[in-house]
């Protein structure tokens, strides 16, 4: 590896890529070598005004980009990741894939979630699940990290401290419209459908159900909703407890579980979406219990902790950098 690792981003005009470029262009310890777009050329600031200094999309093709990179982020649709991940690995890159292509543990789980055979089932066994807080040793050793899904990140983190104490969970999740990416195809993603509305979709069938179930071991009932904000996720998660626990006891256990983590904060209050916007934080709070049902609320920024920020957090672990390198910032008050 070069003295300063060369890092590239594929999917250059997409939303997650925009956040990756923003973080990596100010990062310091890596060189942002190439940003590749299959549909656009020229200035990146034309696509993303927030950049202080303009950058140019590369005119190299993905194979050339892989040859000149130590680390590659694929911020692409699943089908594109399925095609490009093996090529990037063959070229010797460490790969962080933001799509659902390599997140599930085996080909059966993949088929159940996506309805088609995985073309590289052997790579499912080699990929490390990229929910950083819960899988650091495997991420540190792996050449392929499957960045965790956005809803899945908020729910799995909310469930982790109760591992072994709850066998069933219900996740009622609300997301901003950027969850559908820069070119949404579904009618539910249109402003006129979402504005002044709450739209439930893929009831109990969203592919993150399989991801949540695989990583928590719980029976999962997950319903995502789109709400009229552009970014942020708030997940209300209900757990059926196997033993009687008090809310204070649960809150204390969460505080202890995440005590050393730079990006998970537990609160007694219900967390607010603005407080995590633009940050890599997950805030979990509002703990309550009635009979055998416990509930808490978990908030993230879908484009940062749910995508680009967690991807950089995973890169930090893979490269042996401080986990928070390039990612420290605070959210909004309102």
Ligand X SMILES: NC(=O)c1ccc[n+]([C@@H]2O[C@H](COP(=O)([O-])OP(=O)(O)OC[C@H]3O[C@@H](n4cnc5c(N)ncnc54)[C@H](OP(=O)(O)O)[C@@H]3O)[C@@H](O)[C@H]2O)c1
Binding residues for ligand X, per CB under 6 A?
11-17, 37-40, 75-78, 80, 98-99, 149-150, 178-179, 181-183, 302-303, 306-307
Torsion of CA 326, 154, 283, 327, to 10 degrees: 0
Q: Out of 93, 150, 173, 296, which one is annotated catalytic?
A: 150
- Shortest reach from residue 248's CB to ligand X, in Å: 34
- Shortest reach from residue 186's CB to ligand X, in Å: 12
CB-closest chain residue to ligand X: 14
- Using the minimum distance from each CB to ligand X, give the nearer residue, 5 or 179: 179
Contact 62, 87 (CB under 8 A): yes
Q: 300: Cβ–Cβ under 8 A, 6 or more apart, which residues?
A: 150, 153, 154, 232, 233, 276, 281, 282, 283, 306
Terminal-residue alpha carbon distance, the chain = 43
- Using the minimum distance from each CB to ligand X, give the nearer residue, 12 or 285: 12
- b vs e for 198-231, b when ≥16 Cβ sit within 10 Å of the residue's Cβ? ebeeeeeebbbbbbbbbbbebebbbbbbbbebeb
Tell me the C-alpha distance between 193 and 319, whole Å: 43
- Shortest reach from residue 142's CB to ligand X, in Å: 18
Residue 150 a catalytic site member: yes
- Shortest reach from residue 220's CB to ligand X, in Å: 18
Contact 76, 10 (CB under 8 A): yes
Q: 70: Cβ–Cβ under 8 A, 6 or more apart, which residues?
A: 1, 2, 5, 6, 7, 93, 94
- Using the minimum distance from each CB to ligand X, give the nearer residue, 124 or 162: 124
Token pair in block for residue 120: 């590289």
Which candidate, 130, 109, 131, places its Cα nearest to that of 118?
109
- Using the minimum distance from each CB to ligand X, give the nearer residue, 275 or 295: 275
Contact 154, 298 (CB under 8 A): yes
- Using the minimum distance from each CB to ligand X, give the nearer residue, 264 or 308: 308
Helix (H, G, I), strand (E, B) or coil at 211: helix
- Shortest reach from residue 57's CB to ligand X, in Å: 8
- Using the minimum distance from each CB to ligand X, give the nearer residue, 82 or 296: 82
Token pair in block for residue 11: 């999917």
- Shortest reach from residue 75's CB to ligand X, in Å: 5
Catalytic (active-site) positions: 150
């Amino acid at each position: 590896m070069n003295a300063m690792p060369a890092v590239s981003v594929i999917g250059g005009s997409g939303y997650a890529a925009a956040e990756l470029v923003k973080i990596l262009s100010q990062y310091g310890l890596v060189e942002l070598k190439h940003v590749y777009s299959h549909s656009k050329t020229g200035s990146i600031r034309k696509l993303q005004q927030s950049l202080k200094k303009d950058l140019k999309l590369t005119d190299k093709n993905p194979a050339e980009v892989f040859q000149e990179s130590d680390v590659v982020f694929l911020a692409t649709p699943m089908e594109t990741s399925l095609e490009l991940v093996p090529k990037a690995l063959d070229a010797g890159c460490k790969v962080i894939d933001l799509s659902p292509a390599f997140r599930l543990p085996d080909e059966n789980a993949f088929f159940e979630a996506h309805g088609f055979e995985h073309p590289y089932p052997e790579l499912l066994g080699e990929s490390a699940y990229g929910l950083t807080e819960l899988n650091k040793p495997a991420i540190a050793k792996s050449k392929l990290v499957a960045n965790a899904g956005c809803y899945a990140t908020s729910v799995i983190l909310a469930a982790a401290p109760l591992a072994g104490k709850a066998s069933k969970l219900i996740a009622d999740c609300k997301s901003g419209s950027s969850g559908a990416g820069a070119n949404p195809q579904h009618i539910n993603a249109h402003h006129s459908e979402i504005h002044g509305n709450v739209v439930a979709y893929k009831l109990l069938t969203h592919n993150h159900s399989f991801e949540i179930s695989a990583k928590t071991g719980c029976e999962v009932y997950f319903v995502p909703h789109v709400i009229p904000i552009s970014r942020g996720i708030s997940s209300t998660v209900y757990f059926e407890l196997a033993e009687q626990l008090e809310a204070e006891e649960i809150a204390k256990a969460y505080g202890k579980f995440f005590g050393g983590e730079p990006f998970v904060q537990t609160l007694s209050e219900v967390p607010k979406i603005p407080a995590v916007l633009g940050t890599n934080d997950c805030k979990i709070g509002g703990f309550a219990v009635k009979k055998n049902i416990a509930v808490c609320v978990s908030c993230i920024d879908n484009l940062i902790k749910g995508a680009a920020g967690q991807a950089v957090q995973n890169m930090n672990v893979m490269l042996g950098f401080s986990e928070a390198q390039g990612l420290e910032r605070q959210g909004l008050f309102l």
